[in-house]
Amino acid sequence: MSFRRGRSTVFTENPVSVTSFSAVGGKKEGEGPYASCFDYLDSDGYFGQKSFELAESAMQGLALQNALEKRGIEPKDISVILGGDLLDQCIGTSFGIKDFEIPFLGIYGACSTVSEGLAIASVLADSGAADIAAVITSSHFCTAERQYRFPLEYGGQRTPTSQWTATASGALTVERRDAPPYIRAVCFGSVVDKGVTDANNMGAAMAPAAYATLSGFFKDTSMRPDDFDAIVTGDLANAGSRLLTDLAGRDGLDISKKHLDCGRMIYDQNTQDVHAGGSGCGCAASMLAGYFLPEIREGRLKNILFAATGALLSPTSSQQGMSIPGISHLVWISNEKGD
């Protein structure tokens, strides 16, 4: 049983815990400041496969397998897995998880996928619809670049606001269990479209969605930024992060001392030439699975809001001159159990 509060926040009733987490990444992620947070780093991004698309699927399978092994369970113990990715028709996930024979709910939230999946999984576990729910997502620089932008061989010049799609995957398991990290509440985001049309500035397109979800959560719960150790967004990167803190500040909500963004964290911006930062479903997912969840489990962080952010564009919508709708789903993750 869950209970709703306000427009879009849902509190868990039982202790719902993220019981296992795994992060897998590529070469560039292994050269970044959080390299030690990954369970496996592939040296060439092929993950032993013959195409980058198959590599992305293999990466998901690896992350999921790691998460199961850490929890000491088999695929048959998972009631349902929620997952998706950036590839057309989400083939990264369909092919990545098919051999596990786990009931599968495909989701699409662009780079917000990990928090969308974690939010739904938490409700399914809380309600008893799932004993153990799993969440999986990924992104791959080479599959995303050639699908969304240019052939890999083209070598086009990138704009200052452009971001680098992380080659990474994160897998989680969620269940009722009295052990941190706990999912205390989730907040489903609405689509927000402020008319941004620059597909090389997705941070600007997503920041208003992140702000809408965060402010909705604070309104629904009467909580404040000071109640949290960190307010984490997915991949707003440099430009989007400034926009988010500005938007919040205008409404008298000072998140500047609490805000962290996975897209700004995953690479060393001084040495790794990623322009505005990282992006992709795997960016937020691997930072959550590899860094934030362990920190919360160990008590080094007590309470965080984790709001991954997605840009709901496609090459077709951009070519037709449409704006970029954004979305952000939020989960409150805590070292402490709810009342």
Surface-to-core class of residue 12, CB atoms within 10 Å of its CB (0-12 exposed, 13-18 middle, 19+ buried): buried
Compute the least distance from the CB of residue 51 to its own copies, in Å.
Answer: 6
Compute the least distance from the CB of residue 162 to its own copies, in Å.
Answer: 18
Measured from the CB atom, the residue of 36 and 153 that comes closer to its own copies is 153
Compute the least distance from the CB of residue 253 to its own copies, in Å.
Answer: 20
Residue listed under structure tokens 């897209």: 263
Tell me 88's DSSP state. G
Whether 265 and 236 have beta carbons less than 8 Å apart is answered as no
CA 98 to chain centre: 21
Measured from the CB atom, the residue of 101 and 226 that comes closer to its own copies is 101
Interface ranges with its own copies (CB under 8 A): 1-4, 7-8, 10, 51, 53-54, 76, 79-80, 84, 86-91, 94-95, 97-98, 101-110, 116, 120, 123-124, 126-131, 147, 188-193, 312-317, 320, 322, 325, 327, 329
Measured from the CB atom, the residue of 127 and 256 that comes closer to its own copies is 127
Residues 6+ apart with CB under 8 A from 201: 159, 161, 162, 239
- CA–CA gap between residue 113 and residue 327 (Å, rounded): 10
Compute the least distance from the CB of residue 137 to its own copies, in Å.
Answer: 12
Tell me 158's DSSP state. P
Measured from the CB atom, the residue of 97 and 172 that comes closer to its own copies is 97
Compute the least distance from the CB of residue 6 to its own copies, in Å.
Answer: 10
- CA–CA gap between residue 318 and residue 126 (Å, rounded): 39
Q: Which helix (H) or strand (E) holds 12?
A: strand 9-12
Beta bridge partners of 334: 182, 303
Measured from the CB atom, the residue of 124 and 248 that comes closer to its own copies is 124
- CA–CA gap between residue 163 and residue 201 (Å, rounded): 8
Compute the least distance from the CB of residue 294 to its own copies, in Å.
Answer: 27
Measured from the CB atom, the residue of 87 and 304 that comes closer to its own copies is 87
Measured from the CB atom, the residue of 123 and 166 that comes closer to its own copies is 123
Question: What is the residue-wise DSSP string for 161-185?
Answer: T--EEP-EEEEEEEEE-SSSSEEEE
- Pairing relation of β-strands 132-139 and 168-176? antiparallel
Compute the least distance from the CB of residue 71 to its own copies, in Å.
Answer: 19
Compute the least distance from the CB of residue 286 to its own copies, in Å.
Answer: 21
- Pairing relation of β-strands 230-233 and 303-311? parallel
Measured from the CB atom, the residue of 12 and 162 that comes closer to its own copies is 12
